[in-house]
Amino acid sequence: MKKLYEKNEQAFAIVWIVVYCVLQSFANPLNEKTGVEYSASAVFCILQTIILFAFIRKNNLQKRYGLCKSPVPARRFLYYVPLIILATGNLWNGIAVNDSLAGTVCRIACMLCVGILEEVIFRGFLFVSIAKDNVTSAIIISSVTFGVGHLINLFNGSGMDLINNLCQICFAIAVGFLLVTIFYRGGSLLPCIIVHSAINTLSTFANKAGVTAEKHIIHVLILIFITVAYNLVLTKTLPKSQRTDQDRS
């Protein structure tokens, strides 16, 4: 793994993305066989997270991939209040217990790790590897790839329908642009990991009763509006980057 990283950082990022997607696709039928929702998904995600952090720590890459405190004061990010709003979006229709106790525990574990994995892989590995040559391309590619990657939920046995998947993709792309802005301009991936994990985890308790397709689309449009507006504010008010040349090396 280290040899591939040293040889081609971008290829390393792509391999991680492919492995992550493949394992999650394999996990869905295994979840059904075990009879416990998200059981296999949680195991795969936890193992990947352990391996990921072990690699980063062993090679002293924490600062390079933003696993550190941001040097930019929280007030410059409006104290991340818009992120809190986005994180709680899944609970706007109320709270419900949708899975068994075991399934709920497995889903929470899985969603927490998904937030970590996807942030480090897409905002960390992929963005940083491309940003060495072109920051604009890195922002676009990492954000769009992250969003479009959710298309796999139509084919991996997750049971998601087309409308929900398209809403998920649009929201993910918008969030992708926001989170990569926070990372690039703030130098820390930690706020991105926290809000991503919170969005995923709180979806476990989302009340879907009475939510029609029209209501769901309106809900997503509101979240996208908040995301885009916050991103524009940060883009206008923050310096281009707080990451030093030493952080990039």
Residues 6+ apart with CB under 8 A from 231: 174, 177, 178, 181
Write the DSSP symbol of residue 63.
Answer: T
pLDDT, residue 246, reads 38
Q: Report the alpha-carbon distance of residue 113 to residue 23 in Å, rounded.
A: 13
Half-sphere exposure of 57 (CA within 13 A, CB side): 6
Q: Which residues, at least 6 apart from 222, have a Cβ–Cβ distance to it below 8 Å? A: none
Parse the chain into domains and list their residue ranges. Answer: 2-248
Whole-number pLDDT of residue 146? 95
Q: For every one of its 249 residues, what pLDDT tens digit does the chain have, with 9 covering 90 and above?
A: 899 999 999 999 999 999 999 998 899 899 999 999 999 999 999 999 999 999 999 999 999 999 999 999 999 999 999 999 999 999 999 999 989 999 999 999 999 999 999 999 999 999 999 999 999 999 999 999 999 988 887 776 666 788 888 999 999 999 999 999 999 999 999 999 999 999 999 999 999 898 998 999 999 999 999 999 999 999 999 887 655 433 444
pLDDT for residue 241: 67
Determine the residue type at 221: L
Supply the DSSP symbol for 176: H
Tell me the whole-structure pTM to 2 decimals. Answer: 0.92
Please give the pLDDT value at position 230: 98
Specify the pLDDT at position 242.
54
**Tokens at 112, concatenated:** 């927490």
